[in-house]
């Protein structure tokens, strides 16, 4: 019984090479049997597998970030965790103008990223257009624990798009 090297185990387990390829071979030289050296064959199999796997990987070099959009590969990546904010719906929210107290967005949806960034939108992306939105409004706790938000007028914007640059809605 022969023991197998680590290279033999790697080839058998991951490359699915038949066991008889790895078997110990003997060659006859005169009246003496000598072990045939098949380390070169094993080396070539492993090297070809590694280069094949390397060459089959997609090229991400032309994008600024792995999460950059297909339509806008040079999109700004403001999130410290993901690059592009991954926004998940948290709750219903109302946003008021900081200066006047008038309602800017009524019954909007508040989205939050794991990094802590928030955005309140009128619509329900990605299924409907965003409409008016406010990024990172200041929360104000009201009666009964209800949270509303205030923001300056210049922070409330509007778009007919289904996305905002730098944000992905899920």
- Answer for the pair 104, 151: CB distance below 8 angstroms, yes or no: yes
Residue 96 has pLDDT above 90, yes or no: yes
| pLDDT tens digits, 10-47 | 655 655 555 555 444 555 566 655 555 667 777 777 87
**What pTM was estimated for this model as a whole?**
0.55
What is the pLDDT averaged over residues 149-167?
Answer: 90
Q: What's the confidence (pLDDT) of residue 4?
A: 60
Residue 141 has pLDDT above 90, yes or no: no
Length of the chain: 170
Query: Comparing 137 with 57, which gets the higher pLDDT?
Result: 137
Nearest Cα to 119, choosing from 147, 102, 83, 95? 95
**Phi then psi dihedrals of residue 88, to 5 deg:** -120, 140
Q: What's the confidence (pLDDT) of residue 162?
A: 87
Query: Comparing 167 with 51, which gets the higher pLDDT?
Result: 167
Nearest Cα to 121, choosing from 113, 110, 112, 139? 110
The rounded distance, in Å, linking the Cα atoms of 132 and 63 is 29
Q: What's the confidence (pLDDT) of residue 8?
A: 63
């Amino acid at each position: 019984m022969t023991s197998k090297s680590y290279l033999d185990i790697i080839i058998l387990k991951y490359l699915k090479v038949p066991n008889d390829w790895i078997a110990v071979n003997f060659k006859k030289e005169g009246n003496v049997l000598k072990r045939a050296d098949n380390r070169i064959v094993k080396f070539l199999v492993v090297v070809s597998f590694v280069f094949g796997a390397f060459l089959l990987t997609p090229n991400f070099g032309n994008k600024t970030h792995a999460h950059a959009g297909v339509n806008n590969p040079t999109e700004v990546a403001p999130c410290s965790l993901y690059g592009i904010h991954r926004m998940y719906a948290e709750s219903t929210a109302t946003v008021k103008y900081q200066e006047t107290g008038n309602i800017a967005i009524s019954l909007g949806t508040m989205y939050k990223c794991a990094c802590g960034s928030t955005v309140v939108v009128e619509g329900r992306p990605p299924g409907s257009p965003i409409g008016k939105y406010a990024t990172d409004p200041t929360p104000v706790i009201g009666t009964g624990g209800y949270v509303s938000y205030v923001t300056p007028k210049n922070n409330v914007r509007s778009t007919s798009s289904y996305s905002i640059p730098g944000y992905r809605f899920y």
